[in-house]
Structure 1
Amino acid sequence: MEALPRETIVDVLEKKLREDILAGRHPAGTYLPPERELADGFGVTRTTLKHAFGRLAQSGLLETRHGVGTRVRDFLRLGGADLLPMLVRHSPDWIGEIFEVRRSIGALIAERAAARATPAHVGELRRLLVAVGEAAGGDPAQLADAEVHRALARATGNRVYVLLTNTLFNAYLPVRAALAGPFEDARTAHDRLAPVVEAVTAGDPEAARTAAGDYLSTTERLMLEGLARSGGRRGDAR
């Protein structure tokens, strides 16, 4: 058996400060209290506090200026999509906005893929679709489905679509276990996704966009129902 990871004081302090920032208790643009005051208030050393600050600066929430202090970054104005997994961990409410982007981007990717897919892309998509139907359970089917969407993005020939697709999947990770509803039956998951792949491999952009829109809307509804049943519970990122 593997030993379970244990939270350190730095882990706990980082989490506390991150939640305070994301909840607005330390508004964007404001400076945190002096390090000595914060360290005394939390009952930690200044070294521990500096380690927590370093992690939060790396994640894009803080910036420290020597001789001036540590300020809360305006992450909504200056941050990037790499912040999404952290924001979802803080509040699953972000999922609704992620799904809105998923619908529009996913339909566009399918349309572009249908217009640009090479024979190699077509072969890959067909192979990956089969893997969805043959998956041994909901979790493997969910992961196999994700690989189909990555392949669709690659078939567009535009690497930015690939990175956007990866970003959206990464954003799901904190609650992924609660989004498994559409994949519990692998054969049904296959049949639901098949029209998208068929339209793309047939080279029909309009049909691909329509099929992707239907697929994304249906799976979104099922995922949100599962998330509601779980009470927005954070899932395991695997």
Structure 2
Amino acid sequence: MKNCKIGRKALALTGALFALSGCSQKFQDVQDTMSLALFGIDDVVVSADTVNDLPYASLYAKTDDGGQAFMVLGYANPSMSNLADPTHHFQLKWLSATGEMLVTEYGRIVKTINLLGGNLSASYSHQADPLALGLLKSATPHVWTRKVDWQPGYHSGYTLESRFQLQGENTLMVNEKPVSTVHVIEHVHAPQLDITFENEFWLHPKTGHVIASIQTPAPGLPRIELTVLKPFSGVSQ
């Protein structure tokens, strides 16, 4: 029964990837990518040539209690978040082993599905996320408040108060190439729980797009490290 379930997930994800890849994509290429996305072992490393040859976006993801996974973009839907300029902003759904999913908007994790250790059910705010506004712009506020829901425990409506602090420039190795970034720390406080933690983002110095990050989706959940290997061409990550 377990194999049948995995098979159905593989077929569904193959269909999604094939639709995204376009008519010119060889089916064998899709099958090769599926073997990485669905059945990759811990600490998967994909060559830069393979990443560049794939016709869809991809990233590395790593949790505190797991190895590095290679994830591919399965869906890109218009963002429903409160943005100053919603044009060309999307909610990106990244797929990996046996149905695990990360959902991001402009680089922030806003939902997770089927992750061990717990999942972020929702993230919402009446204010635009500074990452969406362009955190490196002088007019962008460096404070932000949102609410999150997460499981296990059916936690709902907990407030998170953020303060962003620029740390300076860093060079990261991304897809086997050095990339200049601006390092930002997001100091997060959950007042109802009296818990504090930090998220880290590495931004493109010109566009402000998130290239890499270390995020705690909600209080008590495992941290997730993301590195965008090939960005979705339609939006910032």
TM-score (normalised: structure 1)? 0.23
Greater percentage in strand: 2
Greater relative CO (CA pairs within 8 A, separation 6+): 1
Greater Cα radius of gyration, structure 1 or 2: 1
TM-score (normalised: structure 2)? 0.23
Greater percentage in helix: 1
